[in-house]
A and B are shown apart, each in its own frame.
Chain A
Amino acid sequence: MQDTISYEPLLCPTAATVITGHYGSGKTNFAMNLSLAYSRMGKNVTLCDIDIVNPYFRSADFAPLCEEHGIHLITPPFANTNLDTPILTRQVDGAITGGECVILDVGGDDAGAVALGRYQEKITAREDYQMILVVNQCRPLTATAEDAVAMIADINRASKLSITHIVNNSNLGPDTSIEQITKSLDYGEKIIELSGIPLLYQAIPRKLLDPICAGDAPDHRLLQLYEERKIFPVDIFVKTPWSA
């Protein structure tokens, strides 16, 4: 067993990683965590915020963090301002075409995935790309595996791309517990069974990682995922003004 500090999940960075998911599944926070993980590997990471749906709590909030870690952040010029017009700049095209390791943080549901359509040819032109579906059992509209899987076809159609991996990011925000994550394992497995799409990671808040590293988990599947390095520790970067 490795200790918590040295543990890293199995990272397989591709030229382009597209992060989609249901509305409020935790895509933006996961995209930031993945960007940092790839950056720690020495990759030259570009994080693109192409969320045309959400007006608040977006990657643009992470500008200082990205700068600190040498991550190139591309955000729409309207992000977190008072201009209610979704604009995607040419910088995004350039990053997708030529970036070493590009992560696209896409808006929620098929409505957000529509923004991918214009980049479809450029993304598929890269030698390899991953398209991740982030799922969260604690979100009422996707609380069943059937509901979560129904969204896959919608997102694929809207984006003209195909989801290749699942990240089970089931969480209750600040109240996420190992019990609640354990309960979501069946949900994740059912999604994989119904969709035929493999699991990339089981996300877990970093603060809950220690017991698992020490071999202590309420479900053996968590230990197995840990051995396979499919546990992805997430730090929470989305902050409210009163917690700032």
Chain B
Amino acid sequence: MTEKQAERVLMKGNEAMAEAAIQAGCRHFFGYPITPSTEIAAYMSKRMPKVGGTYLQAESEVAAINMVLGAAAAGVRVMTGSSSPGISLKSEGVSYLAGCDLPCVIINVQRGGPGLGGIQPSQADYWQATKAWGHGDFQILVYAPSTVQEMVNLMMEAFDKADEYRIPALMLVDGLLGQMMEPIAFPEKDLSTIPAKPWATNGHKHKREHNIVNSLCLKPDELEQQVIARFARYDIIKAKEAQAEEYLVDDADIVLVAFGATARTTRSAIDMAREKDIKAGMIRPITLWPFPEKVIQKAANTAQCFLSVEMSMGQMIDDIKLAINCTKPVHFYGRTGGMVPMPVDILGKIEELARGLK
């Protein structure tokens, strides 16, 4: 994809994801506003009518996610967006979407929790997104952009991959990314590559058999086979779709792992550490499911220890330990409740670890 340099614009992360969805062919948005994700709905309410699409403010998050299910079953590109408490409300619908093998894109602009929590940024919905966003055996694709430009690029990719694998895709961002403004360009998007959906319940017109989209299956042996087939697809996704960015990892004694906005403060901390001759580097997971295990495993061959930096009490740290089978120490630094790990504080933790190495 080439970015049209001549048409650079200044956009908030939330607006940029909404526009990227429209340019990816999404014409259906169902949602319910909540800080700090409201600009997604506000932007869609202005843009959708102009592109012949549908913006609908549902009566609740539960209604919105079920509208997403209906539209996805009809074979169109559809999305919703919310923030942490609203995302929890959607969990039943997400499980049904997974059980129906339906593609859609959902944005979670995370805020501090649990409960109603606060409105400042957070990454504490990591476990929910990657492990158990609803009942049953299932996974969803989880993307974690760290710039507004990457929010645009991954939003478009999320629609493509959701369709390719018939799976819900989540954009897991935080309030800081959703609210910040950066100059961006929209890649030219070729909509002719959207795959056909012969399974869609969009009217048989007496020319084919009825299509049925449903997650209900009362025969245990059949349900087991459905789930096993779905997990075979997950294996393909794990093999092909994991993404990560490496920053100064090759010679690093201390490898920090951070995603989203936290990766940006972490990168500043690494630059400060390098100026003090501390060999620190960073792996930035771009997909959280599938988790970029291979990149982390490779770093474990050369790194002395890992440091997981998160806007939570420590959730991704478990996946780092699993990826390297606990062969190296994995430390943690984080802030929560809406507080952001600042470069100087991360540097303090790096220096503390560096003293332990010597």
Contact surface of A with B, Cβ cutoff 8 Å: 23-24, 54-57, 80-84, 136, 138-141, 143, 171-175, 240-244
Contacts and interface: CB of A to CB of B under 8 A. Distances in A.
A85 to B, nearest CB: 10
B9 A56 contact: no
A242 B267 contact: yes
Interface in B1-17: 8-12, 15
Contacts of B200: none
Interface of B: 8-12, 15, 19, 35-36, 39, 43, 46-47, 112, 117-120, 175-176, 179-183, 261, 264-265, 267-268, 337-338, 340, 342-343
Contact of B338 (A82, A143, A174): A82
A167 to B, nearest CB: 16
Contacts of B120: 55-56, 80, 82
18 contacts: A23-B39, A24-B11, A24-B181, A54-B179, A55-B36, A55-B119, A56-B36, A56-B180, A82-B337, A83-B118, A84-B119, A138-B10, A175-B183, A240-B180, A241-B176, A241-B264, A241-B342, A242-B268
Contact of A138 (B8, B12, B119): B8
Contacts, number: 81
A186 to B, nearest CB: 16
A170 to B, nearest CB: 9
A139 B175 contact: no
A174 B183 contact: yes
A143 B10 CA distance: 10
Given A140-B19, A240-B264, 16 more contacts: A24-B10, A24-B12, A55-B36, A55-B175, A55-B179, A56-B36, A80-B120, A82-B120, A82-B337, A136-B10, A138-B9, A139-B11, A172-B10, A173-B181, A240-B180, A244-B343
A80 B36 CA distance: 12
A24 B264 CA distance: 22
Contacts of B15: 24, 140
Contacts of A56: 36, 120, 175-176, 179-180
Contacts of B261: 241
Given A56-B36, A140-B19, A172-B183, A242 B8 contact: no
A62 B183 CA distance: 23
Nearest to A171: B10
Contacts of B118: 81-84
Contacts of B342: 241, 244
A174 to B, nearest CB: 7
Contacts of A242: 264-265, 267-268, 343
A198 B330 CA distance: 61
Nearest to B10: A138
Given A136-B10, A139-B11, A242-B264, A173 B46 contact: no
A169 to B, nearest CB: 11
Nearest to B266: A242
A242 B337 CA distance: 19
A125 to B, nearest CB: 33
A242 B121 CA distance: 14
B23 to A, nearest CB: 11
Contacts of A82: 112, 117-120, 337-338
Nearest to A53: B38
Contacts of A24: 10-12, 15, 181
Rank and list the top 10 A-B pairs by shortest CB-CB distance, nearest first: A82-B118, A56-B179, A172-B183, A138-B10, A242-B264, A175-B183, A242-B268, A242-B265, A241-B340, A84-B119
B182 A241 contact: no
Contacts of B175: 55-56
Contacts of B338: 82
Given A24-B10, A82-B112, A55 B343 contact: no
B284 to A, nearest CB: 13
A227 to B, nearest CB: 29
A141 B343 CA distance: 34
A172 B264 contact: no
A173 B176 contact: no
A80 B176 CA distance: 12
B8 to A, nearest CB: 6
Contacts of A54: 179
B343 A57 contact: no
A81 B180 CA distance: 17
B348 to A, nearest CB: 15
A83 B46 CA distance: 28
B39 to A, nearest CB: 8
Nearest to B35: A55
Contacts of A139: 9-11
Contacts of A172: 8-10, 183
A139 B7 CA distance: 11
B9 A143 contact: yes
Contact of B9 (A55, A140, A243): A140
A244 B176 CA distance: 14
A139 B10 CA distance: 5
Contacts of B46: 141
Nearest to B50: A141
A56 B118 CA distance: 12
A136 B12 CA distance: 14
